[in-house]
Amino acid sequence: ETAVFQTPNYHVTQVGNEVSFNCKQTLGHDTMYWYKQDSKKLLKIMFSYNNKQLIVNETVPRRFSPQSSDKAHLNLRIKSVEPEDSAVYLCASSYWGRDTQYFGPGTRLLVL
């Protein structure tokens, strides 16, 4: 039973375009995350966010930015995509102060 929803499932775009991915959770959590899973299956945290603070992994390029309208939604915008941005982007959520995170199915991005 999926409680973290992501759209689209798959997106193909060209270098330099702007893309935006959506994430919604129905678990009542107050903290959300974005992870990047590369071609070697390595998962790396990009952002964690709740209404109190945004924590950014310092290795994340500035063209990436999270956007939140409320605690149930956290979108990811990429301003000008690069070929190395091709990956699966996974959204997750948890309660603030709790370690257990629940993941969505991911959005696969292919940059041509």
Partner 1 sequence: QQQVRQSPQSLTVWEGETAILNCSYEDSTFNYFPWYQQFPGEGPALLISISSVSDKKEDGRFTIFFNKREKKLSLHITDSQPGDSATYFCAASVNYAQGLTFGLGTRVSVFP
Judged by the rule CB under 8 A, the positions of this chain that interact with partner 1 are 4, 6, 31, 33, 35, 40-45, 48, 53, 55, 57, 90, 92, 94, 96-106
- Rounded to the nearest whole angstrom, what is the least distance from the CB of residue 16 to partner 1 in the complex? 28
In the bound state with partner 1, the residue whose beta carbon lies nearer, of 1 and 16, is 1
Q: Are 74 and 32 in contact (CB under 8 A)?
A: yes
Long-range contacts of residues 54-59, Cβ cutoff 8 Å, at least 24 apart: none
- Rounded to the nearest whole angstrom, what is the least distance from the CB of residue 15 to partner 1 in the complex? 25
Q: Are 75 and 22 in contact (CB under 8 A)?
A: yes
In the bound state with partner 1, the residue whose beta carbon lies nearer, of 35 and 111, is 35
**Upstream peptide bond of 83 is cis (omega within 30 degrees of 0):** no
Q: Are 108 and 88 in contact (CB under 8 A)?
A: yes
Q: What is the DSSP letter of 79?
A: S
- Rounded to the nearest whole angstrom, what is the least distance from the CB of residue 92 to partner 1 in the complex? 8
- Rounded to the nearest whole angstrom, what is the least distance from the CB of residue 105 to partner 1 in the complex? 5
In the bound state with partner 1, the residue whose beta carbon lies nearer, of 40 and 62, is 40
